[in-house]
């Protein structure tokens, strides 16, 4: 891989630059891989796959809300475990790491889907322990450090590829992060969406069919910065920061808080597919302006001032 001032290694994955996509916008059909690669991401992250196909919730499932944010309640719609191979095989053709997001309603399901992802050629698996839009698993599991330890340990014991754990905000975030690392996680993705809702003031009805959903975008960026900063201070782990990155400054904040890499999601809806390359350009100029030889000198720098 070509080395530059933006090259990073996070969770055992070598990246040309630190900007990948967040799981959720696209990413379970082979043609989605083509679109995602065109964004210029340094790794392709799939949407969450589960063992069985999921139809998801009825529309409306995504709405725009204030401050460059989205509310979504998709319900982890995906084609099931059988959809992993065609997606991964297409994505691998672009020469970047392919990270498969794994979900489940039970720990054995996480293990089975993660194993299938590895068998299909995934570079890493990202365990989604933080989705607020499903009734089982997801955020409930991520809030329980003992369960986090068990699922990560069980998955890490059967796959050889790096295991990344995606956690949402909770009052036990640091404990869950610590247990994820103890269980064998090579990196942590912080954070996922935050539960929210919106009501139509004329019909008096919630705008999402599921009533509540996950809030993403600029509204949650300060929460993400706090979460990364707090976990970095307490837990020795590679961190991938995600939450409200619309510009290079947002990405830089998460890096200074402790992230080695970042993920972009909602910005693709508001700013378009060119936003990834714009963020990468901005980060390159920022590294030079602050006098660093490499962006690898900057993760956690806010803790050293």
Residues designated catalytic: 131
Instruction: Name, in order, each residue with C-beta under 8 angstroms of 149's C-beta and a sequence gap of 6 or more.
Output: 179, 180, 182, 183
Distance between CA 78 and CA 32 in Å, rounded?
Answer: 12
Which tokens belong to 100? Answer: 């498969």
Side-by-side strand order, sheet with 98-102 = 19-21, 261-264, 238-242, 187-190, 163-167, 124-128, 98-102, 44-49
Instruction: Name, in order, each residue with C-beta under 8 angstroms of 115's C-beta and a sequence gap of 6 or more.
Output: 158, 159
Distance between CA 184 and CA 157 in Å, rounded?
Answer: 8
Distance between CA 106 and CA 149 in Å, rounded?
Answer: 14
With contact defined as beta carbons under 8 Å apart, do 22 and 262 qualify? Answer: no
Distance between CA 132 and CA 12 in Å, rounded?
Answer: 28
- Residue with the two structure tokens 């995906």: 78
Distance between CA 73 and CA 224 in Å, rounded?
Answer: 20
Instruction: Name, in order, each residue with C-beta under 8 angstroms of 12's C-beta and a sequence gap of 6 or more.
Output: 124, 162, 186, 187
DSSP alpha helices (H): ranges in the chain?
Answer: 30-38, 84-92, 107-119, 139-142, 145-156, 173-183, 221-234, 248-257, 267-270, 275-289
- Residue 44: which of 29, 33, 30 has the closest Cα? 33
């Amino acid at each position: 891989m070509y080395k530059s001032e933006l090259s990073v290694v996070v969770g055992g994955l070598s990246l040309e630059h630190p900007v990948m996509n967040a799981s959720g916008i696209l990413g379970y059909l082979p043609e989605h891989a083509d679109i995602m690669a065109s964004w210029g991401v340094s790794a392709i992250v799939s949407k969450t796959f589960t063992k069985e196909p999921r139809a998801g919730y009825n529309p409306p499932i995504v709405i725009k809300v204030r401050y460059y944010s989205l509310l979504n309640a998709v319900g982890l719609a995906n084609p099931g475990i059988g959809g992993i191979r065609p997606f991964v095989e297409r994505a691998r053709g672009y020469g970047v790491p392919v990270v498969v997001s794994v979900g489940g309603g039970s720990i054995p399901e996480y293990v089975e889907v993660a194993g299938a992802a590895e068998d299909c050629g995934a570079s890493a698996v990202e365990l989604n322990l933080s989705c607020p839009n499903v009734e089982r698993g997801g955020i409930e599991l991520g809030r329980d450090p003992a369960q986090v330890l068990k699922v990560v340990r069980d998955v890490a014991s059967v796959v050889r590829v790096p295991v990344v754990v995606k956690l949402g905000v909770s009052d036990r975030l640091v404990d869950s992060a610590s247990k994820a690392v103890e269980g064998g996680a090579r990196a942590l993705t912080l954070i996922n969406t935050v539960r929210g809702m919106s009501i139509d003031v004329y019909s008096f009805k919630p705008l999402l069919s599921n009533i509540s959903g996950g809030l993403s975008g600029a509204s949650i960026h300060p929460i993400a910065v706090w979460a990364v900063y707090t976990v970095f201070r307490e837990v020795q782990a590679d961190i991938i920061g995600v939450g409200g990155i619309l510009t290079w400054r947002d990405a830089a904040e998460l890096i200074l808080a402790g992230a080695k890499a970042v993920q972009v999601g909602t910005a693709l809806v508001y700013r378009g597919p060119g936003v990834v390359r714009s963020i990468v350009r901005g980060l390159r100029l920022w590294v030079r302006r602050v006098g660093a030889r490499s962006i690898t000198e900057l993760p956690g720098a806010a803790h050293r001032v």
